[in-house]
Amino acid sequence: MIAAKNRIALWVFVAVLAVLPLAGATPEFWITQLNYIGLAALAAMGLMLLTGVAGLTSFGQAAFVGLGAYTTAYLTTKYGASPWLALLVGLLLTGGVAWLVGLITLRLSGHYLPLGTIAWGLSLYYLFGNIEALGEHNGIAGIEPISFFGASLLEGRHIYFLIWVCVLLAAWASSNLLDSRPGRAIRALKSGANMAESMGVDTGKYKIVVFVWAALLASLSGWLYAHMQRTVSPSPFGLHYGIEYLFMVVVGGSGSVWGALLGAALILVIKDQLQNLLPALLHTDANFELIVFGVLMILMLQYASNGLWPLLAGWWSRIIGTAGSRRGLAAPAQAATLAQRARPQAGVPVLEVKDLRKQFGGLVAVNDISFSVRAGEIMGLIGPNGAGKSTTFNLVSGVTPATRGEVRFMGESISGLSARSIATRGVGRTFQHVQLLPTMTVLENVALGAHLRSQVGVFAGALHSDRAREAQLLHEAARQLRRVGLGDYLYEQAGNLALGQQRILEIARALACDPVLLLLDEPAAGLRYKEKQELAQVLEQLRDEGLSILLVEHDMDFVMRLTNHLVVMDFGTKLAEGLPAEIRENPVVLEAYLGGIDDDLPDDIRGAAAAGEGA
């Protein structure tokens, strides 16, 4: 219903776009303006994915537009090459350069990337302006218009169609991409990169993918620009235009390709209006639009940092009468099941930890710990605060490197492997501090966990040829969610769930990667009594299916009831190991938990201390 109304809105938009140049009454100026908006929207759309979605800020987008424009200008004027061939060469060249630049700058997180992009944006600009073959600062003139099956696209009204077909195709492919397996990985880059790595996502690769994608869209925009303008010079590819593209993204709003279109339209229209209006108003030729732009931008970021598209989308959904319409696809009722890993025989050691040690400077956080987890059993790792449980957990899951010692999984050493390689081998995990992507649906969050079980690539995702495999992933995600009792919340935003439900969601996500071993970091924290019981049931059921589980937990009742086997740690050292019943009686453990029992204390205080510890 919602989707249908949205689709109607889209078709109306496309129809208006298509009719505009056909109507003779449409002023030429509108067409020109729309052409420029289309070109800017292409570049901004790529930047939207890069900055708005993946959180990688680039000021250098204009330089990629320039690469596309100069390639076609050079090839068509010097060698008389076909513009279509030049487009291909331009895309290849830009892709190659972006891949190389990405390889270098994307390794750095945070603010280095934007600063790096400023630097190479400037460098490319000065290169364009100083290479003799590219006409130095005069640029290249006399570029032939594109011809399409014999029809010359010389006029604004004609190239208009090509531009807007490109824009709509780019929007279609980009939003497809976001709704696919690689897209989920890209959407995790901004705020969940560590988590994604633990789900087996190669975040480094996806950073480069989205960077190259953005550069290719920019290059396409440059190619169209060169043939529309029929001349290129360095100035439109300078840093200021790179900044303008970024402004379009900020104004339009992060996360949606339509935001980029809105941003491009708004910025260009405002810019044009300012250029007409201000000199008349202020009787000067001074460059006032720069100031107005700057001020608008500052106000925008201070008061509406999410941009205008989310506001518009909110109004729209209120108009069509559905609050909180959401993106994302429904899970199919039926789909071919994904291949499953072979489970080891019950009783076979799955995880063996030998003399594991971690030192932070002089502090020994984990002191030569050894234990093993067997197939089909739940092992608990307990201990008072500061005992080194979480550190041990991080050593096993590959988040922190161990100082010494060995971790073997299914007989193979996994010491020193990255979190991603460990995940690839069949280890699923949850986090002590819940790490979800709050704006994605519950279903999509879990589908991210199944990342490794499908091989859908970027192009398959963008062209929607992945639908059958996507359905499998979503079906599997839904199945895991129902299994843990979250079946009613599939399409809720993950950030809206209660903390306890978010923890369960993390378990479903870990299950979605079909693990042999499940590492759970305090899964019961923040859960109510009933929820804990339900969680315990789920874990017992998983054990019966042959899954092995390592559990770090504070809640004694929960641990005692559930585990087959317990290791107690204190001050980094293994204090005791055994069956839950044995541990309960172990005097050393009791002392570690309750403190040395002071004989002078009256009994009721001792009792209170014990009760406090158990909470």
Partner 1 sequence: MDVSIALILLQDGIVNGAIYALLGMALVLVFAVTRVIFIPQGEFVTFGALTLAMLVDGRVPGTVYLLPLLGLLVLLLELIKALRSGVWSSLPKVLASCVALPLLLLWATRAYAGPDTSLWVDMLLTLLLVAPMGPMVYRIVYTPLAEASVLVLLIVSVAVHFTLTGLGLIFFGAEGWRTPAFVSGQLELGFMSWSGQSLFVVGTCLVLIVALWLFFGKTLYGRALRATAVNRRGARLVGISTGMSGGLTFTLAAAIGAVSGMLIAPITTVYYDTGFLIGLKGFVGAIIGGLASYPVAAAGSLLVGVLESFSSFWASAYKEVIVFTLIIPVLVWRSFHHRHTDDEE
The CA distances from residue 494 to 396, 500, 501, in Å, are 27, 12, 9
Q: Does 55 bind partner 1 (CB under 8 A)?
A: yes
**What is residue 77's three-state secondary structure?**
helix
Q: What's the rounded Cα separation, in Å, for the pair 539 and 545?
A: 10
Residue with smaller CB distance to partner 1, 289 or 506: 289
Q: Which residues, 6+ apart, have CB-to-CB distance to 296 below 8 Å? A: 270
Residue with smaller CB distance to partner 1, 298 or 605: 298
CB of 51 to partner 1, least distance (A): 8
Q: Does 398 bind partner 1 (CB under 8 A)?
A: no
One of 38, 114, 135, 572 touching partner 1 (CB under 8 A):
114
Q: Which span sits near partner 1 by CB under 8 A: 55-63, 68-76, 206-214, 598-606? A: 55-63
Residue with smaller CB distance to partner 1, 10 or 277: 277
One of 12, 15, 85, 123 touching partner 1 (CB under 8 A):
123
Residue span 133-172 as binding mask against partner 1, x where in contact by CB under 8 A, dash where not: ----------------------------------------
CB of 322 to partner 1, least distance (A): 30
Q: How many CA atoms lie within 13 A of 461 on its CB side?
A: 21
**C-alpha 75, offset from chain centre:** 37
Q: Which span sits near partner 1 by CB under 8 A: 67-75, 126-134, 324-332, 513-521? A: 126-134
Q: Encoding tokens for residue 266?
A: 């708004």
Q: Which span sits near partner 1 by CB under 8 A: 106-114, 326-334, 528-536, 590-598? A: 106-114
DSSP state of 330: P
Amino acid at 277: L
One of 20, 93, 119, 312 touching partner 1 (CB under 8 A):
119
Q: Does 290 bind partner 1 (CB under 8 A)?
A: yes
Residue with smaller CB distance to partner 1, 59 or 74: 59
CB of 219 to partner 1, least distance (A): 20
Please give the backbone phi and psi of residue 372, each rounded to the nearest 5 degrees, phi first.
-145, 150
The CA distances from residue 368 to 339, 348, 357, in Å, are 38, 23, 5
Q: If residue 372 lies in a helix (H) or strand (E), which one and from where to where?
A: strand 363-374
Phi-psi group of 331: left, alpha or beta (phi > 0 → left; psi -120 to 50 → alpha; rest → beta):
beta
Beta strand pairing call for 412-413 and 548-552: unpaired
Q: Encoding tokens for residue 209?
A: 């993918």
Residue with smaller CB distance to partner 1, 291 or 579: 291
Q: Does 312 bind partner 1 (CB under 8 A)?
A: no
Q: Which residues, 6+ apart, have CB-to-CB distance to 86 below 8 Å? A: 71, 72, 75, 76, 223
Closest CA to 575 of 564, 587, 561: 587
Q: What's the rounded Cα separation, in Å, for the pair 15 and 104?
A: 43
Q: What's the rounded Cα separation, in Å, for the pair 292 and 299?
A: 11
Q: If residue 186 lies in a helix (H) or strand (E), which one and from where to where?
A: helix 181-188
How many chain residues are in contact with partner 1, going by CB under 8 A?
Answer: 46
| Reduced 3-state DSSP string for 473-487 | HHHHHHHHHHHCCCH
Q: Which residues, 6+ apart, have CB-to-CB distance to 281 below 8 Å? A: none
Question: What sections of 323-418 are H helices per DSSP?
Answer: 389-397
CB of 235 to partner 1, least distance (A): 14
Q: Does 273 bind partner 1 (CB under 8 A)?
A: no
Residue with smaller CB distance to partner 1, 6 or 191: 191
Q: Does 127 bind partner 1 (CB under 8 A)?
A: yes
Q: Does 112 bind partner 1 (CB under 8 A)?
A: yes
Residue span 59-88 as binding mask against partner 1, x where in contact by CB under 8 A, dash where not: x-----------------------------
One of 105, 180, 256, 394 touching partner 1 (CB under 8 A):
105
- Pick out residues in 186-245 that bind partner 1 (CB under 8 A): 190-194, 243
Q: Which span sits near partner 1 by CB under 8 A: 37-45, 101-109, 575-583, 603-611? A: 101-109
Q: Does 350 bind partner 1 (CB under 8 A)?
A: no
CB of 123 to partner 1, least distance (A): 5
Q: Does 115 bind partner 1 (CB under 8 A)?
A: yes
CB of 249 to partner 1, least distance (A): 9
Q: What's the rounded Cα separation, in Å, for the pair 126 and 118?
A: 12
Please give the backbone phi and psi of residue 334, each rounded to the nearest 5 degrees, phi first.
-140, 140
CB of 431 to partner 1, least distance (A): 12
Binding residues vs partner 1 (CB under 8 A): 55, 57, 59, 104-105, 107-112, 114-116, 118-120, 122-123, 126-127, 130, 190-194, 243, 246-247, 250, 284, 286-291, 293-295, 297-298, 301-302, 305
